[in-house]
Amino acid sequence: MTNITISNSVTSIGGFAFGGCSSLTSITIPNSVTSIGSSAFNFCSSLTSITIPNSITCIDDSAFWGCSSLKSITIPDSVTSIGKYAFNGCSSLTSITIPTSVTNIAYRTFSYCKSLKSITIPNGVTSIGEYVFAGCSSLENIKVDDKNKYYSSLDGNLYNLDKTKLVQYSIGKTDKIFNIPTGVTSIDNYAFAGCSSLTSITIPNGVTGIGDSAFSECSGLTSITILNSVTSIGEHAFDGCRYISIRVHKGSYAEQYAKENKIHSMGFKED
């Protein structure tokens, strides 16, 4: 079974309906269908194309997880919500169009889409879950629509609207050095996780919090400067950073954190 056309009498595609159909290459969904259930097409590893009709309002959790041959997808204007893990592991996906109707992008929606180079967050999005772009090792540019009232972008990276929180660094960038912009006060969970190119990061004065796993698996990171303003560092913030050395103010929270977590640090006096 390689091609399927769903009857126009069908109104919903249930959970796991086609899950694991590894020989399926294409499927036609009629306008009668309004919902795609959880894991409906997960691990359809030969699926190269699918047309989602504008009758669909919700793409449920894990709907296309592991569709590793899927190269592009256009989500219609009728969709308002994309579930957790919906496109997780779609490793051939190079482009995806998110309509302005979408308000919520859930946890790990696009994680491990290893071929995805850029994505645009439309103006209707009000919430983005954690780890959405984890493992997107080719991602170089996240663009946010100028009319979005909750998020913004700068130099291809994702921030909250007023740019006080760095939400996601585009981990496919090839830059070796990154200076976090002045004005940022917090670094979100997983913000740099899996970025292998960066070797040096400077965190500006004014940042008070570093989230869980913020720099985990940044395998090339050898130097990071954390100033006195930082008063909290989340769990596993530097896991997998084998060669890292943290430059800290003597007597600071960051120095104590480094000692407690057996991370090499270099102290310096505050100017």
Tokens of 203: 């965190």
Q: What is the mean pLDDT of residues 234-263?
A: 94
Bridge partner list, 72: 95
Q: Which residue has the higher pLDDT, 216 or 3?
A: 216
Residue-wise pLDDT for 132-171, tens only, equals 999 999 999 999 999 999 999 999 999 999 999 999 999 9
Closest CA relative to residue 185, chosen from 212, 158, 203: 203
Q: Which residue has the higher pLDDT, 50 or 109?
A: 109
Residue 18, C-beta contacts closer than 8 angstroms, at least 6 positions apart = 4, 24, 27, 40, 41, 44
What pLDDT, on the 0 to 100 scale, is given for residue 78? 94
pTM exceeding the 0.75 threshold for the entire prediction: yes
The Cα 128–Cα 121 span in angstroms is 10
Straight-line distance from the first to the last Cα atom of the chain, in angstroms, rounded to the nearest whole number: 70
Residue 216 pLDDT more than 60? yes
At CA 133, angle to CA 170 and CA 41, rounded to 5? Answer: 145
Tokens of 201: 């990061």
The one-letter amino acid code at 6 reads: I
Note the residue count of the chain.
Answer: 271
Residue 173, C-beta contacts closer than 8 angstroms, at least 6 positions apart = 140, 156, 195, 197
Residue-wise DSSP of 29-59: --TT--EE-TTTTTT-TT--EEE--TT--EE
Query: Are 126 and 151 spatial neighbours (Cβ–Cβ below 8 Å)?
Result: no
Alpha helix (H) ranges present in 112-180? none
Q: What are phi and psi of 127, to 5 degrees?
A: -150, 140
Q: Residue 197's pLDDT band (boundaries 50, 70, 90)?
A: very high
Grouping H, G, I as helix, E, B as strand and the rest as coil, residue 256 is helix
The Cα 27–Cα 92 span in angstroms is 18
